[in-house]
Structure 1
Amino acid sequence: MPGYQELLRVPGVGRIIAAQLTARFPNGMMSLAVLLHVEQMTGSYGSAGLVLAATSIGQAVAGPVTSRWMGVWGMRRVLTLTTAVCAAAILALAVLALPVAGYMALGLLAGLATPPVQSAVRTIYPKLVTSRQLTPLFSLDASLQEIIWILAPVVITLVAMQVGTVPALLLIVAFLAGGGAWFILCPEVGRVRIPRSRRGFGKVLGRPVVLLATVIGFLLIGACAAVEAGVVATFGHGGLEAGVVLAVFAVGSLAGGLAFGHVPMGPWAMARRMTVVAVGVTATVLSLNFWWLGASLLVAGIGIAPALAVMFAMTSSSVKFSETAEAYGWIGTGQLIGAATGSAVAGFLIDGVGPVGAYWAAAAFAIVGALVAAVFARGFPDLRDRDASPIPDTEPVPTVS
């Protein structure tokens, strides 16, 4: 913990972390709020699912595109435009009575305009701290984002159920506007300039680390999404047990990230951390007892934030600074597709064999993720003796031996 206290004493670090968490808080609210609102307006969960699918497609497409735009037009311009359009789309979705196609169009627009805050802040971090502090900062960031996934669903569900789905969507608009403005106006956002990338769009995926991080992120988040579907199916939508088990899962990730943030990252770091996730998730198939699931997912959670920290640090160290934002955009897209795929596969298996099917799906995603990380361990750089700073645009990118 002393290392994190030192980090937070660096001018601007505490502010930028708090601002980006607030700006990203709607990410943990939107799916539930849209699902509940559209179902209430149309009387159909199927229609709500279509709107959510359109939103997810928009987010997946936008991630690398809007992230790359920040190197062309600047962070503040892109963040301001996307925040305004996204907030307007959600506001329209809240107050207009439309056919399903209309809701889908607004959902797609909101997804396409999702502000690239995550890519922006992880591009800013190397400019805020010393090279020695960068890897712990990525770990702290990966850990603290669990606050979004612990608190946001609870807050939005309470508002939607107790006050109404329209106020729930308006709360998202308020967070987008307020949190987005706070982040955009941070001095650090104005000071950091991303050079225009000289390479074509998508070329950054040719870097082994970026491709591996995108694929493993897809598998890791796919496993998490399948677990969430399984827990809800096991205990029911209204069960207190489901919320407690998912909170334990997130707390495990928070604790793991804080505990292992200073552990040096070698080429096998990703494989070891994904193995922890795989062991914990695979254990869930042995029993659907509340206490067993809680203990198993606590173990699985311990590996999640550390695995994400490896993705961020090793990506940062392996690409030129002008390519970092787009690289993080592709990784985010992989995670979004993983979440949609994991939920879909788990849903089919729940219908076919019951809740245990979701845990089998989660185990498969996590095991494959650990195997990919192990088989391609040589594709990751060794950060035990160097920092995670991006490569200056004037230097060549080292090749993997």
Structure 2
Amino acid sequence: MSPTAPPAAPAPRITYRAVLGSPYVARLLGGTLTGRLPNGMAPVAILLWTTASGSSIAFGGLLSALYGLSSALAQPVKGRLMDRHGQTAVHLPAALLNSALLVALPLTGPYGGPGLATAIVVAGGLTAPALEAGLRALWPSVLPDPRLRHAALALDTGTQGLLYIAGPLLAAALASAYSPTVALIATAVLGLSGTAVVVLAPPSRRWRPTPSAGDRHGAVGRLTSPHLVLLFVSLTGIGFALGAMNVWSIAMAEHHEQDMLSGIIPAAFSTGSFLGGLVYGSRTWTGPTADRLITACAAFLAGWLPLLALPGPFAATAAVAVPGAFLTVVVACAYVSTDALAPAGRTSEAYAYLILSIGVGQSAGTALAGRLAEQPLAIAALPAAGAAFALAVLLAAHRQLRPAEHRPRGRHRRPLRARHETPS
């Protein structure tokens, strides 16, 4: 009899220390978070500068909304440019223009009037670097081990909610201690410095996409395939829930005459998202990603249902941490599904469309919630309505999403250096 082979040793457990200790991970993640901090700072700084300059809050709110909307709408264009020309050629000029426009706003605004201020703000949003999509495209080349990549994606996704806590607080603190102009300058400096940290890193400088199989028309067809379209449509429901929650938190603050609630409730939600991401990324999961996505979306929906009981401030703050904990899982699974469904040479653009889908839904949720702000039950139900829409679309698309898990994915089986890097 031949000797029995010893059982294979179990794979070592993945830790966040191992992830952050991998080459370039901490640099890329830290640089991206710093470079994206202006996403949370700029709208607040623009609003505070507008009102300090003598304009109305309504006009300041319009400028803030235009900055966010123009930034979201330009994401796919910048993603496609990255897929064609690499990251450095897109990120660095965008960051330079964005920072210059933010600094120019307080210098030219008083002389050009509302029209010039609006043009500068829109141009600033259009030139905001697409760092989030770029980072997601880098992970496969930086972390060839899928388990490390899974943990990095969860950590990346979980921390992004914290940007929208720290960013507004930092902008408000600088405006209060110094002036709104200083807040705008700091926003520009942070955005440019964070982007520079990323684009000067070797993985970003050397990254190149894998050309898609087939002709260019085939690649476009795959990017607009029903699989991806349904996934992106479902994510508008996730964004809708987020936008409605922000307005609902303000309505709660006004109803209970506790101004801090407008910040505390989103902070509790983002904290839940961060902690949920840490737990999700620290475990190894089996089974199709599409199934995990649907399960997480169902839990995300269930987490909003307690709001229908119109809870008080403390209960409401605790309640929103539950859907927050599942948001990271939903978004992380959505990125994995997007990677499986998108053509090899269009991943950055596909990620950008994912971000745009959430942003469009968020804008719609904010707009509708604003109209229903005087109706407590209606506004409390909007986050659950958005989550229910997302779940319904995912369930309808389940058959189309799941087979992607089992299709050959040649681009991930190629040597990673050949796919994503060229000699510097």
TM-score scaled to structure 2, two decimals? 0.85
Matched, 1:275 2:292: no
Question: Residue 171 of structure 1 is aligned with which of 186, 199, 203?
Answer: 186
Show the counterpart of 1:257: 277
Letter in 2 for 1:367: A
- Higher CA-based Rg: 2
- What SS class does the counterpart of residue 145 from structure 1 fall into? helix
Show the counterpart of 1:151: 166
Q: Distance in 2 between matches of 1:349 and 1:392?
A: 50
CA distance 1:70–1:305, shift in 2 (3 Å) = same
Report how far residue 172 of structure 1 moved: 0.5
- What SS class does the counterpart of residue 380 from structure 1 fall into? helix
Show the counterpart of 1:137: 152
Q: Distance in 1 between matches of 2:191 and 2:258?
A: 28
Q: Distance in 1 between matches of 2:414 and 2:293?
A: 27
Question: Residue 77 of structure 1 is aligned with which of 70, 77, 89?
Answer: 89
Show the counterpart of 1:229: 247
Show the counterpart of 2:37: 25
Question: Residue 47 of structure 2 is aligned with which of 35, 39, 49?
Answer: 35
User: Is 2:70–2:122's contact at 8 Å kept on the other side of the alignment?
Assistant: yes
User: Is 1:284–1:293's contact at 8 Å kept on the other side of the alignment?
Assistant: yes
Unmatched runs of 5 consecutive residues or more in structure 2: 1-12, 416-424
Matched, 1:100 2:118: no
Matched, 1:122 2:136: yes
Report how far residue 174 of structure 1 moved: 0.9
Q: Distance in 2 between matches of 1:295 and 1:117?
A: 32
CA distance 1:263–1:150, shift in 2 (3 Å) = farther
User: Is 2:340–2:405's contact at 8 Å kept on the other side of the alignment?
Assistant: no
Q: Distance in 2 between matches of 1:304 and 1:233?
A: 22
Q: After the TM superposition, which parts of structure 1 deviate over 3 Å for at least 4 consecutive aligned residues?
A: 195-198, 200-205, 381-394
Question: Residue 211 of structure 1 is aligned with which of 213, 220, 229?
Answer: 229
CA distance 1:4–1:310, shift in 2 (3 Å) = same
Matched, 1:346 2:369: yes
Show the counterpart of 2:418: none
- What SS class does the counterpart of residue 28 from structure 1 fall into? helix
Report how far residue 73 of structure 1 moved: 2.3
Which aligned pairs between 1:302-341 and structure 2 lie closer than 5 A? 302-341=325-364
Letter in 2 for 1:325: S
Percentage of pairs with the same residue = 23
Letter in 1 for 2:41: M
User: Is 1:322–1:393's contact at 8 Å kept on the other side of the alignment?
Assistant: no
Report how far residue 383 of structure 1 moved: 8.3
User: Is 1:131–1:389's contact at 8 Å kept on the other side of the alignment?
Assistant: no
TM-score scaled to structure 1, two decimals? 0.90
CA distance 1:142–1:343, shift in 2 (3 Å) = same
Report how far residue 364 of structure 1 moved: 0.9
Q: Distance in 2 between matches of 1:265 and 1:347?
A: 40
- Deviation digits for residues 183-203 of structure 1 (CA, Å, limit 9, x no counterpart): 111111112112466535964
Show the counterpart of 1:64: 76
Question: Residue 367 of structure 1 is aligned with which of 382, 388, 395?
Answer: 388
User: Is 2:98–2:128's contact at 8 Å kept on the other side of the alignment?
Assistant: yes
Show the counterpart of 1:181: 196
CA distance 1:213–1:390, shift in 2 (3 Å) = farther
Show the counterpart of 1:398: none
User: Is 1:220–1:366's contact at 8 Å kept on the other side of the alignment?
Assistant: yes
The two structures, once aligned, show a CA RMSD in angstroms of 2.6
